[in-house]
Amino acid sequence: MMNMNDGLYIGVDGCRGGWIACVLNQGELRFERFDSLEQLVSHYPEFDAFLIDMAVGLRSSADQLRPDDLARKELGQKSSSIFPIPCRQAVYADSEEEQKQTNIRILGKSLSKQTVHIIPKIKELDEYLSLHPEYKNRILESHPEVDFARLNGSVVMTRKKEYPGFSDRAAILKRYLPGKDLSGMWGMAKKLKCNPDDLLDAACLAVTAALAAGGMCETIPAEPEQDESGLYMKLTIPKRIIGVPASGQKVAIVTGGANGIGKCITEEFRKQGVKVYVIDKAAGDHYVGDISDKAVLEAFAEKVIFENGGIDYLINNALPLMKGIDECSYEEFQYALAVGVTAPFYLSKLFAPHFREGACIINISSSRDRMSQPQTESYTAAKGGIAALTHAMAASFAGKVRVNSISPGWIDTAYTIYEGPDALQQPAGRVGNPMDIANMVMFLCSDKAGFITGENICIDGGMTKLMIYHDDHGWTYTPEE
């Protein structure tokens, strides 16, 4: 599985007088203009994947197969966006008229104005690969419109040279680049002396390059032919499954799901056939990472999005640090808030475009969101924050995602059976266990809870509702001397 934050991925599109490169380098996204391919590759001689929107591999006879016809068939009504590629002899002809006549002689058809216009760039690329055989079949051809169709799950019919069509495609890329700012692409074009859609196409190719490095692309044709110089004539494009939501199986995310309540929730989801992704600091057979780290959240979200296209349930359960005002440092308090409030907010934001119909977010708060013991400030503040975050997100996600929180009371994750005062002080007559919370999570995620959102449900055996007075029900208050 690819990680957008771990590698160098380059997407290149031609522009007037040069080339536009979108570079994804260790998670950083930037656009650069180069006057020549020689200059570009000299600047980035080593890369994990490099895709270019220009013909790689040229036919020398009509019986050879290039991917163009297959790509046009895939785009249907948008097939005109793929220009016919001239034969090798036409590319190296001296004049436009000779180019056209040569192509008629070899391939049986003339050349359009658009094709003639890009011949100098086709030639530049072909000559560069001839002079630098180390990059043969490493610099690969792709086509942005085919890539957008695969990333989207359907052909994008709007025109990318017009702002609405540009915005449609930028929104598709945003799904695959969580946390990256693409808002400035339209305005950046003037500075880089190119058209806005050149930047858009380069970014699409960079995303596809990242997918290719992670084994999530395929080629058309599946078994490409080589041209006379040894270049494979193929398009590298995302697999069809990438932009298509998984059919049938639900997908859940559980933070802090390696142990305790989170583990129980995970097991209950799996019993129902739900595909569960766990992220936890503890070592194990799950995504290991510290959710206080923004980069970890983004990488995790990328993995889930690329593998599934969408999610159904997000359970923000990870446990914040508990320290009190006497010992808790500034950094520790910030860490507790990062785990308990910021991470649930940011994960919800990253997955916002990917929640499927009927999706739910469940935030695990605590009865400490309304009552406290001394020296618990970091934990209590985080749990109070996530309880308030719940009703705010319920309003923001209205009509799309139901958002609720659960406030557990005393939950013994070892399923210990308590007797005497520990049990009897609770109106329910016992201490809680993880299944008490998991059962509520399953209910809130079900259609039976379809009219519940923005709610906090306290599951504490009634303990927060029991009024306690000195010398009442056998309880006496004996302050420390």
What CATH number did the domain enclosing 448 receive? 3.40.50.720
Give the tens place of pLDDT for each residue, 377-393: 999 999 999 999 999 99
Nearest to residue 362, comparing CAs of 301, 452, 436? Answer: 452
Give the tens place of pLDDT for each residue, 84-141: 999 999 999 999 999 999 999 999 999 999 999 999 999 999 999 999 999 999 999 9
**Per-residue pLDDT for 366 more than 50?**
yes
What is the phi-psi region of residue 173: left when phi exceeds 0, alpha when psi lies from -120 to 50, beta otherwise?
A: alpha
Same domain membership, residue 379 and residue 327:
yes
Same domain membership, residue 416 and residue 267:
yes
404 domain-assigned: yes
pLDDT value of position 24: 93
User: 379, 415, 469, 477: which is the annotated catalytic residue?
Assistant: 379
- The structural domain count of the chain equals 2
244 domain-assigned: no
> Among this protein's residues, is 346 annotated catalytic?
no
pLDDT value of position 232: 96
286 domain-assigned: yes
Same domain membership, residue 154 and residue 122:
yes
Same domain membership, residue 285 and residue 166:
no
243 domain-assigned: no
Same domain membership, residue 389 and residue 258:
yes
Percentage of the residues of the chain whose pLDDT score is greater than 70: 96
Same domain membership, residue 435 and residue 402:
yes
**Per-residue pLDDT for 470 more than 90?**
no
**Per-residue pLDDT for 246 more than 60?**
no
pLDDT confidence bin for 1, thresholds 50/70/90? very low
**Per-residue pLDDT for 300 more than 50?**
yes
Same domain membership, residue 161 and residue 17:
yes
324 domain-assigned: yes
pLDDT value of position 245: 52
2 domain-assigned: no
**Per-residue pLDDT for 481 more than 70?**
no
pLDDT value of position 282: 93
Give the tens place of pLDDT for each residue, 170-203: 988 988 887 777 778 888 999 999 999 999 999 9
**Per-residue pLDDT for 420 more than 50?**
yes
Q: Which domain holds residue 92?
A: 8-238
Same domain membership, residue 311 and residue 191:
no
Same domain membership, residue 217 and residue 265:
no
Same domain membership, residue 394 and residue 287:
yes
479 domain-assigned: no
Q: What is the pTM of this model?
A: 0.62
107 domain-assigned: yes
Same domain membership, residue 351 and residue 230:
no
